[in-house]
Amino acid sequence: MNSKPRISIIIFVDSLNPALSDTIKGYARQTCVLSTFELIVIDFKLSRDFSAEVEKICQLTDNNLNIKYFRHESNSRSVRNNFGVTQATADLVVFISGDFIPQPGFIEAHLQFHQAHPEPQLVGIGSGFSPKSQRKKSKFLAWQEDSGSLFGVRLNEKDPVLPKNFFYVANASIKKEFFLSVGMFDEDFPYDAWDDFEISMRLAQHGMKSLYVPEAIAIHNHLLTLSERRKRIEWAGESAAILKSKYPDYHIPIRSPWKQLIKSYINLLVYGVTRNSKYQVNYWERTLEAAFTRGYLRGCQALDISRN
């Protein structure tokens, strides 16, 4: 336990979906020796307190599971992930969501990837699959996953094609020195959106290349609903305005939110009559697009910047 871990796992606990206990149990079942890694869990101090459950899981492993559990005052993902990096003692870090349950070979896969790719700029991207039981309960969740809308890439494909500069904080490993060389996450982003995209732009400028790590599998334990996703997409719109204020030349396409809402309700009515899933998907798409635009316009107004 006193030796330096080879990899630091930085876990951001989402206050809207604090599904942490099963996640920690997943790390206790890793194929590698538990002293190989450390867990840095950053929770929001006003959300559910998991400290007792974390302690119980540690006791089940004879306290061989190295966990640092923090109750942070900020609900910002960028702030908490930055804090996690300052607590990390390993040369390699993994950013992962608290609702991603790692499968047994998860840590070993990320370690082997970086052993095979010692170049500083190489980043490992792992997957996140929704459980079949949740996909059956929610057609919306299944569509989000299958369309690639959830993470920007169809991660449930056998061999997903990643843009070379793809980076997300749900399941990604990176050399800490390379991460720090571009500065940390921009803490002007208050929500769980666009903070990882913004840093990917800086990482790409320094030669980052992302590669898929197929064995770094995690189960995404989050029964996502349209209502919750709409709220998150609206936050994403506000975050996009922040990005626009920092990168004025970056184009963010938007359309009238009212037109999109009207189209969404028309598609919902048609779906109600025909039960054709095409119209249901159109309803979801238009609803989320309207939410993004609302957030973006509100953000532009707050920052006093042009929407174009």
1 falls within a domain: no
pLDDT of residue 115: 98
pLDDT of residue 163: 87
pLDDT digits (tens, 9 = 90+) for 22-78: 999 999 999 999 999 999 999 988 787 888 888 888 888 777 899 999 999 999 999
Same-domain check for residues 231 and 201 = no
pLDDT of residue 169: 96
pLDDT of residue 67: 94
pLDDT of residue 46: 77
162 falls within a domain: yes
Count the domains in the chain.
2
pLDDT of residue 265: 94
pLDDT digits (tens, 9 = 90+) for 105-119: 999 999 999 999 999
Given a contact cutoff of 8 angstroms between Cβ atoms, the answer to whether 167 and 208 are in contact is yes
pLDDT of residue 47: 80
2 falls within a domain: no
Residue that the structure tokens 């793809």 belong to = 166
Q: 57 — phi, psi (to 5°)?
A: -65, -40
* Tokens (6 digits) for 84: 């996690």
Same-domain check for residues 135 and 260 = no
* Residue-number span of the structural domain to which 126 is assigned: 7-223
CA 203/CA 70 separation, integer angstroms: 27
308 falls within a domain: no
CATH classification of the domain holding 150: 3.90.550.10
Q: Alpha-carbon torsion 256, 261, 264, 265, what sign?
A: negative
Given a contact cutoff of 8 angstroms between Cβ atoms, the answer to whether 70 and 85 are in contact is no
Question: What's the pTM?
Answer: 0.94
Tell me the residue type at 285: E
Q: Alpha-carbon torsion 258, 250, 166, 77, what sign?
A: negative
Given a contact cutoff of 8 angstroms between Cβ atoms, the answer to whether 64 and 29 are in contact is no
Same-domain check for residues 133 and 263 = no
Q: Which of the residues in the chain have pLDDT under 70? A: 1-2, 15-19
Given a contact cutoff of 8 angstroms between Cβ atoms, the answer to whether 11 and 54 are in contact is no
pLDDT of residue 184: 96
